[in-house]
Amino acid sequence: MLRIGLTGGIGAGKSTVSATFAECGGVIVDGDVISREVVEPGTEGLAALVEAFGEDILQPDGALNRPALAAKAFQDDEQRAKLNGIVHPLVGKRRQEIIDSVPEGTVVVEDIPLLVETGMAPFFPLVVVVWADEETRVTRLIKRGLPEHDARARMKAQASDEQRRAIADVLLDNSGTQEEIVEAARRLWYERVLPLAENIRTGERVRIAPRLVPHDPGWAADAQRIINRVKAAAGAKVLRADHVGSTSVAGLDAKDVVDVQVTVAALEDADEIAGALAAVGYPRVPHVDSDVSHDDSDRWGKRLHGAADPGRPANIHVRVDGWPNQRFALLFPAWLGANPAARADYLEVKRAALTAPDYADAKEPWFAEAYPTALAWAEATGWRP
Ligand code: ADP
């Protein structure tokens, strides 16, 4: 089963997208709907609220009087915490029940308005953010019947567009027509979400043909999301995680594959976190040469994972703290960044490697020569990881 996260500012069109995903076969777990469900008449949630806030939060028919509850619960932080302490665990429990009951192979879409605010984004292999500019959203909300000052107040209380962009693996632009956003959501589902689910199920990584593209300023943010995911999935076993390789060097053309190095204390730790990385979208690549030809004794061994998401090819190199290969991966971008001549030289080597039988192998001789030069530079400049 794949769980993806869906969010967007109020009025952006999140409900429209989640309805489209549902039509495509996704199971929608909607935070707003669940929060209402768990305090319906007859629930333990409503009983607990009455116990905490009194009978006068009820309407004559016994249903929750939301404004009355809000008046009491939003008085101060203590009352607010009391409310959250009752509702949040029930919502979490119900969410889990729904997730546990879906058939194998289902894609669950967790519709979470406050995905940024709750810090849950890194736990999803894919986060979809629906976006429209503020004025468009306000206009649409007014049309839906929300008073303007209310719409603006709610937007102010939510995360900023910039914060939402930072967690977005996919930014669905809903500036156009309703038909356009529905079409974009469908395409996303069939071209990216389903292949991602299948790749996670089978443990396949995405591979692309070697082709150099101009440096993309978005690579750093892509790498950061991968880093956040790896840290959330593997916890304290990850000593550090860094954006490395060509895509981390400003101004350098590169293959559109983001490299991230995950530093662990020992190769055994790399093996222990393999399952957690696979579950969050980065399956282990079995039998890479470096596993076989290198072991602990020469301290060049590593474990390699790849991305299951066809929309963001990536390599995750899991290496041991202090080993030469781990240090070199950190040194390499720093050295290239500081040495335009080396950068130009490397670009030539990459261009030539494109037509070689194996792109990675073809670059090896250059690396062998560059290694001592880079080490000498580190020595001379006092560079530290
Ligand atoms: P959210 O769930 O993100 O708060 P909705 O999907 O409910 O947003 O959309 C807000 C309002 O805008 C709804 O009334 C919806 O029908 C309308 N809407 C959504 N997308 C578009 C669009 N592309 N063009 C016009 N109206 C739209």
Say yes or no: CB of residue 20 within 6 Å of ligand 1. no
Q: Is the pLDDT of residue 348 over 90?
A: yes
* Same domain? 229 vs 345: yes
Q: Tell the residue nearest (CA) to atom 6 of ligand 1.
A: 13
Show which of 158, 173, 202 is a domain's final residue: 202
Q: Tell the residue nearest (CA) to atom 19 of ligand 1.
A: 13
* Same domain? 310 vs 373: yes
Contact residues for 286 (Cβ-Cβ < 8 A; gap 6+): none
Show which of 202, 226, 258 is a domain's final residue: 202
Say yes or no: CB of residue 113 within 6 Å of ligand 1. no
Model-wide pTM > 0.85: yes
pLDDT for res 210: 87
Domain around 102: 2-202
* Same domain? 80 vs 130: yes
* Same domain? 144 vs 254: no
On whether 13 is known to bind a ligand per the annotation, the reply is yes
What pLDDT digit, counting tens, does each position of 57-94 carry?
999 999 999 989 988 888 888 998 999 899 989 998 99
Among residues 246, 242, 303, which one has the least CA distance to residue 277? 303
Q: Select from 10, 14, 16 the residue to mutate for testing ligand 1; criterion: most ligand atoms less than 8 Å from CB.
A: 16
| Phi and psi, residue 256, nearest 5° | -80, 55
pLDDT for res 137: 96
Domain count, the chain: 2
Q: Provide the CATH number for the domain around residue 42.
A: 3.40.50.300
pLDDT above 90: percentage of residues in the chain? 82
On whether 106 is known to bind a ligand per the annotation, the reply is no
pLDDT for res 361: 87
pLDDT for res 359: 86
Q: Provide the CATH number for the domain around residue 370.
A: 3.30.460.10
* Same domain? 197 vs 226: no
Say yes or no: CB of residue 177 within 6 Å of ligand 1. yes
Cα–Cα dist 359/64, whole Å: 64
Is 95 in contact with 29 (CB distance < 8 Å)?
A: yes
Helices 148-157 and 134-143 pack at an angle, to 10 degrees, of: 130
CA 174 to ligand 1: nearest atom: 23
How close is the Cα of 381 to the center of ligand 1, in Å?
56
